[in-house]
Structure 1
Amino acid sequence: MTLALLFPGQGAQSPGFLHQLPQHDAVRATLDEASAALGLDVLSLDGAEALRSTVAVQIGLTVAGVAMARALAHEGLVPQFSAGLSVGAYAAAVSCEALAFGDALRMVRKRAELMERAWPSGYGLTAVAGLSETQVETLAKTCAREPGERVYVANVNAPRQIVVAGADAALEAFGARALVAGAHKVQRLAVSVPSHCELLADAAETLTTWARDIPFQTPRGVYVDNRGGRPLYSADAIRADLATNMRYTVRWYDALTVMIESGASVLVEAPPGQVLTDIARGQYPEVAALAASNLPLERLVAIIRRRLGEDA
């Protein structure tokens, strides 16, 4: 039985989340390394005003994820599986040593800049609970036949937990129709770009070219991708996944299922938030799922060790 580290995507952030990371040598070293690599104080990126920037959010999430992974590794807890939702995939790639931290930060900054430049305002994501992917796609096609911009399936987080991307007005209209169609809840997410759809095709192509010379390595352990929800074993495959994942649907439920079916018995979600933890608990209640942001590091480490020991 094994450990999996899960890294959340944009929308999980909250003001002060970097300041709330554990007081640990590995965390402090990670913050210092990030600041040096980017030429700025990364602790300036988690204020309420700073978090209006897609660039600040995506860099901050990457730093938080890597900091937690390193703190756990310092305590002897190295994951056999690493997976991240959307930008969380970059921290996952660092976690399994497929990508150097400094290179990940530079690539994330470029990614976020391209996304923000492509759609600086008026777009985003909405979460829909209670409808299947097929129902959401059918509803989106119905809406597309009417005047106005269309919406796209961006994330399949669980069988009935779908995220759609598009323009503000289109998302509002779609949300109203989704509720009429039987959705339990419709919620606009704290994301200001239309992630994981063809609206970002040009940005993904630019990032692919830009990242061509960034060194990647064969992963240690298993890296599970966003686009197909499957393990990737080569450096080139992971590079392609990271460079293009902004334009393809995130199939998080598939990724989660692959890890659990492959033996992951303890799932730990890196800060901030607990969305991935809640999904895992809801879909696979027999598996231990823990949100690192909700526990002191010492207690988290003790629980992980105990769970792994019980399952061994």
Structure 2
Amino acid sequence: MKGYLFPGQGSQYVGMGQSLYHHSSRAHQMFATADRILGMDLTYMMLEGGQEALKETTVAQPAIFLHAVATAFLSDSFDPAAVAGHSLGEISALVASRVLSFEDGLRLVAVRSKAMQKACQLCPGTMAAVLGLSDEVVEAICAKITQEVVVPANYNYPGQLVISGSQAGVALATEALMEAGARKVIPLQVEGGFHSPLMADAQESVAAVFASIPFSKGICPIYQNVTGLPVTDPETIKANLLQQLVAPIYWTKTIHHMVEDGITACIECGPGKVLQGLVRKIAPSLSVEPLSVLGETQSSAY
């Protein structure tokens, strides 16, 4: 059984979608729809724009979403037993599995990205990847820092946990983590403290939009970030997706549960190779590969 995985922010690169756009009328139409709904020339920024523009949350998230969903829709082999997405990728997975329409998914990504960018301005923050410590040690150190915000945010694979919070909170945690024996604590080039309480304002803004977007029962279960468990009920999916903005991403649990439930191969659907690398570290025996259509290649940077 195949599980399809959809990447999150950070997988974008200039030129993503070139083959899709130039060799498929359906993809061309999807790009045009995205430009119209978003009110910006996303097509240009993806195909020819600079890397700086693609770093902006309000550009990066729609770009990755569009590439991932177009890849799934244009593939003759897309036949998921299950789907999962890392952070933003969860929305791509919901569209690909027919829980959300493409247009509603676009609108949700647009609102989410703008709300997150605004929250970054209201509550400046950052993130850092912690290498070489157990989850329990990282959790305990974050819990001891009460004067600033710092929490576990992305459980990417055993031995790598990303922390998130205020700049001062992450700095305090970094010092304590190194003293505790971390191999490295690597600052991430992000605009804010995602998947932390600093995103509470974004969660409130997005919640208002959720009420107007219908969620349907999809064609397969989605393993959601906030629990790592499979879900099919539309209302539960909606609640989990909203909670994800301020809650950790349990990616290690997600992959373990997929394997336990019979998934034998994972296919990354979208730009980059980040999730393929994570899966190999979590479940080395699991087959993993990219989904490629119309000659679309993965960026060598990821």
Place the TM-score, normalised by the shorter chain, in its bin.
0.7 to 0.9
Closer, same or farther in 2 for the Cα pair 1:189/1:296, shift >3 Å? farther
What's the TM-score, normalizing by structure 1?
A: 0.85
Matched, 1:196 2:234: no
Amino acid at match of 1:54: T
Which structure 2 residue ranges, 5 or more long, are not aligned?
A: 298-302
Superposed, 1:10-89 pairs within 5 Å as 10-19=9-18, 24-25=23-24, 26-46=26-46, 47-72=50-75, 75-89=76-90
User: Displacement of 1:30 after TM fit?
Assistant: 2.7
> How far apart are the structure 2 equivalents of 1:9 and 1:190?
14
What's the secondary structure of 2:267's corresponding residue? Answer: strand
User: Displacement of 1:170 after TM fit?
Assistant: 3.1
Amino acid at match of 1:61: I
> Match for 2:125 among 123, 126, 130?
123
Q: Is the 8 A contact 2:20 2:296 kept in 1?
A: no
What's the secondary structure of 2:10's corresponding residue? Answer: coil
> How far apart are the structure 2 equivalents of 1:30 and 1:170?
41
What's the secondary structure of 2:92's corresponding residue? Answer: helix
User: Displacement of 1:20 after TM fit?
Assistant: 6.7
Which structure 1 residue ranges, 5 or more long, are not aligned?
A: 301-312
> How far apart are the structure 2 equivalents of 1:11 and 1:101?
22
Q: Is the 8 A contact 2:87 2:249 kept in 1?
A: yes
Partner of 1:95: 96
Superposed, 1:287-298 pairs within 5 Å as 287-292=286-291
Q: Is the 8 A contact 1:133 1:160 kept in 2?
A: yes
**1:100-136 deviations in whole A, cap 9, x for unaligned?**
1111111111111111112227422211121122111
What's the secondary structure of 1:247's corresponding residue? Answer: coil
Q: Is the 8 A contact 2:203 2:243 kept in 1?
A: yes
Closer, same or farther in 2 for the Cα pair 1:101/1:33, shift >3 Å? same
What's the secondary structure of 1:193's corresponding residue? Answer: coil
Partner of 2:105: 104
> How far apart are the structure 1 equivalents of 2:37 and 2:169?
39
- How many percent of aligned residue pairs carry the same amino acid? 31
User: Displacement of 1:265 after TM fit?
Assistant: 1.4
Amino acid at match of 1:268: I
Amino acid at match of 1:63: L
Partner of 2:300: none
> How far apart are the structure 1 equivalents of 2:18 and 2:169?
36
Q: Is the 8 A contact 1:227 1:251 kept in 2?
A: yes
What's the TM-score, normalizing by structure 2?
A: 0.88
Cα root mean square deviation, aligned: 2.3
**1:155-191 deviations in whole A, cap 9, x for unaligned?**
1112321111112343234334323322223222232
Closer, same or farther in 2 for the Cα pair 1:139/1:234, shift >3 Å? same
> How far apart are the structure 1 equivalents of 2:293 and 2:220?
26
> How far apart are the structure 2 equivalents of 1:88 and 1:167?
24
